[in-house]
Structure 1
Amino acid sequence: MTRPSPKAVLALSALACLLVQAPWTAIDAARLGLDPLIAGLDLALAVAGPALLLLAIHRPGPVVAALSAFALADVLLTPVSGPPYVALLVGIGVAVRYGALVWTAVSVGLAWLTAIVVGTIEGLAWHPFRVAVATAALAAAVAVGWLVRVRLGRAELLRAEVLRRRAVAERGERRRIARGLQDSLAQVLAQVHVQASVGVQLMERDPERGRAALERVRDLAAAALEEVRSVVGVLAEDDAPRTPAKAELDQLPRLVAGARTHGLDARLDDRLHGAPARAAQFAAYRIAEEALENVVRHAEASVVEVVVVRDGDALVLTVDDDGQGIHDDAEVGGGVLSMRERATLIGGGLDVGESELGGTRVAARLPWAAIA
């Protein structure tokens, strides 16, 4: 439900003041048989106050000062039995709400003091109870205006904090997307370089394998182009999918097939029934891509096996090879750090160790229902 605007609330308040003051004033003037000049002045004051309230948001200080003067005139010049000048109470609340505290204190204080002094001098019947009620009403109007000001101020601070956090989250998301795109393109370009080199070398000796290598270059370029387009879509549209469409588990066969073009016996064992969250798919795909790239470039392996399986609430990905393995004194490279960061980013983990095939095993355990 949409909340009414401040102007609409003020307009309704002004209308309520008019309905309270004007009819009561007219009826009271007729009942008492007032002089037409006094009756006209009384009715004019009853109408002028609510009308002036419509300007209170834009000019709260001058409006509350004018309303104080109108209320003072109403008290001193019109019958005691007339209606209370409720427009002043609304004007005080609005003025305090919008920060016109000095205007309110000075104008209302002077009007109250003048009414007491002049009324006493002229012999007006100031009953102590009436003075106490009027003073309490003025104080209550100030209190209500102050409470509204404090509440709305806190709401504004909360709204600003929410916007700040959203901006920080958006910047973090953009950095994450940029980092992912950079890593992806670096991997693709490295593979393109390797495949193109292999294709050039094999075109004369083994045209069939050379053609396969060049087809692999074409596929890699197409995948990279698709991912760039998807990431640009994410940055351009808030409702765009957060995960590039090509970086999912159904693309693992293509990824494994690409490893075969290097002469590897590459195998894929997909034991999944159902699909995990897209964030988990994206991370698993990129980890598999990085692991296969490491096997091709560094492992000197002949066999590589990729396995994906669900284990409870986790997606488990393993990449095993029969290459030279990891030496005890080997330093952790940037590829391993990148894979570990991808797993950690969605609440998973990654281990690198010895494989039963004799080489290296990369094992990633990712939350099945991960949220990016």
Structure 2
Amino acid sequence: MLNRPQRGDPFWIWMLHWWEVFSWAIIGLLALITVLSDLPPWPKYGSLALMAVLGACCVLVRTRKANPVRLGYAYVGVLIAVIGALAYLRPGYGVLYTVMLPHFMIYVDALIPAIVSSGLGAVAITIGGALRQGWSAGSLTTNTISSAAVWAVAVLITVATPRALALRDERARLRSQLADAQEELAEAHRRRGMAEERERMAREIHDTLAQGFASIVALTVAARTNVHDDPARAVDQLRSIEQTARENLTEARALVGSAPRSGLAPDPISRTLHRTLRRFTEDTGLTMVADLPDVDCDQTGRIALLRCAQEALANVRKHAQATTVGVVLARRPEAIELEITDDGRGFDVSESIGFGLDGMRRRLDELGGELTITSAAGAGTRILAAIPLRTNP
């Protein structure tokens, strides 16, 4: 049974659909005319009953999901009997065969059965018309010729319909494949977004909370050592622990969305870096040489440069064994640059791996910037973070 056509189906399928709708409109009009007519009771109520039976059978076939093929064949059998009986009851009702032609293609699922059933419909109206007019050679010949002509059209329609159905099925298959591809693409985008968000959260946690906790651990160890030998120093370290813990709490709230993102106040980058370097000097006792002029930098750039500075200083604290650290902030013609150097033991850049350095690169890549690392064993380390000016207001 041919289902309701969908957008993109061939014209032929739409034609059959609207032809079927038209046929029921004609049936309804004929029923109305019959009700208003002054025909004798038998032809009047007989034809109304036949049209009602045909409509009820069609509704049954359309609404029942079980055994649609068997119901379709049963409906076509009822259709053949009804149009034959109507041709017998009323003059001119043989035209219903022409009007109802699409039903033989819509409700029969194969070429040969559709041709045979439409031929049986032609035979039914021929016999019905001949019986009504009186069984004679003349009336039989006339009805046969007209019915055969209409049947020939039915055969052409029936032959063309499978091709249209094949084209419809191919388009439906392509639409289904397109829908599946779009769904897979949407799922891939969703998974990629989730992965990127997890990576961003991991980077934020590493650059903020993890660094803060590492600082707290180091300060706690130092304070425990100084609590008897240098109580004043231990008190300063405890204050640093408290301040670091508060900052970590602020960062944690920012990460879960209960505070402005990043937890950074919209201060100039130079002021933010000054605070960071002062805390670093207090915690480590290293000599700090800084050149931090005021430069214009948007919030995204400030966060990226600050995180790079925090990661670089954390690496100095943990690995460099340095005595002096230099930090230079500069505005170049095409970029803002932050340079962090130390006189520590250095390392082989080609063998360096770590989440922190990779996170620094990714932060700068997102802004179109670049990270350059220069180091060698015993020669200290130089880290240069640059972000293009076009990312800034």
- TM-score scaled to structure 2, two decimals? 0.65
What is the SS of the residue equivalent to 2:344? coil
Q: Please list, as runs of the form range in 1=range in 2, the aligned pairs for 1:241-280 lying within 5 A after superposition.
A: 244-246=262-264, 251-261=272-282, 262-264=284-286, 265=288, 267=290, 269=292, 271-275=294-298, 278=300, 280=301
Q: How does 1:324-335 map to 2 (within 5 A)?
A: 324=344, 326=346, 331-332=351-352, 334=354, 335=356
Shift in Å at residue 81 of structure 1?
A: 1.5
Task: Select 1:288's aligned residue among 309, 333, 336.
Answer: 309
Please list the CA deviations of residues 294-353 of structure 1 after superposition, one character each: whole Å capped at 9, or x if unmatched: 2233242334314264753x55332234x2363679952535455345444665431112
- Alignment-derived partner of residue 84 in structure 1: 99
1:126 aligns with 2:141: no
- TM-superposed CA distance for 1:193, in Å, is 1.4
Per-residue CA deviations over 1:90-139 (Å, capped at 9, x if unaligned) read 966xxxxxxxxxxx624x75244123146348555121553246426744
Contact 1:67 1:88 (C-alpha < 8 Å) held by counterparts: no
How has the CA–CA distance of structure 1 residues 21 and 159 changed in structure 2, closer, same or farther, with 3 Å as cutoff?
farther
In the alignment, does 2:29 pair up with 1:24? Answer: yes
Matches within 5 A, 1:188-227: 188-203=212-227, 207-227=231-251
Gaps of 5+ in 1: 1-5, 7-11, 93-103, 235-239
Matched, 1:302 2:302: no
- The residue identity in structure 2 corresponding to 1:80 is G
Alpha carbons 2:23, 2:100 under 8 Å: kept: no
Match in the other structure for 2:385:
364
Q: Distance in 2 between matches of 1:59 and 1:221?
A: 72
1:166 to 171, 182, 189: 189
Q: For residues 233 and 70 of structure 2, what CA distance do their matches in structure 1 show?
A: 88
Report the count of equivalent residues.
336
Q: Distance in 1 between matches of 2:242 and 2:20?
A: 74
Work out the percentage of aligned pairs sharing the same amino acid. 19
Letter matched to residue 24 of structure 1:
L
Q: Distance in 2 between matches of 1:268 and 1:56?
A: 83
Once residues 63 and 232 of structure 1 are traced to their aligned partners in structure 2, the CA distance between those partners, rounded to angstroms, is: 61
8 Å CA contact 2:373–2:384 kept in 1: the answer is yes
1:316 and 1:366 in contact (8 A); partners too: yes
Tell me by how many angstroms 1:165 deviates.
0.7
Match of 1:96 in 2: none
SS at structure 2 position matched to 1:300 = coil
Match of 2:374 among 330, 335, 353: 353
**Alignment RMSD, CA only?**
4.6
Moved more, 254-263 or 301-310: 301-310
In structure 1, the residue matched to 2:48 is 40
**Structure with more helix by fraction:** 2
- Mapped partners of 2:95, 2:326: distance in 1: 99
**Could you tell me how far apart the structure 1 residues matched to 2:375 and 2:177 are?**
58
Gaps in structure 2 of 5+ consecutive residues: 1-5, 7-16, 87-92, 128-143
Separation in structure 2 between the aligned mates of residue 212 and residue 58 of structure 1, nearest angstrom:
83
SS class of match (1:35): helix
CA separation of 1:271 and 1:27: change in aligned 2, threshold 3 A: same
Residues 223, 246 of structure 1: 8 Å contact kept: no
Corresponding residue SS for 2:339: strand
Instruction: State the structure with more CA Rg.
Output: 2
How far did residue 141 of structure 1 move?
6.5
| Aligned match for 1:176, one of 166, 179, 199 | 199
1:105 aligns with 2:132: no
Supply the distance in 2 between the matched residues of 1:292 and 1:306 (Cα, whole angstroms).
13
Give 1:363's aligned amino acid.
Answer: L
Contact 1:304 1:319 in 2 (8 A): yes
Asked if 1:116 is matched to 2:115, the reply is no
2:172 to 149, 153, 162: 149
The verdict on how the C-alpha distance between 1:132 and 1:61 changes in structure 2, with shifts beyond 3 A counting, is closer
TM-score using structure 1 length: 0.68
CA separation of 1:319 and 1:292: change in aligned 2, threshold 3 A: same
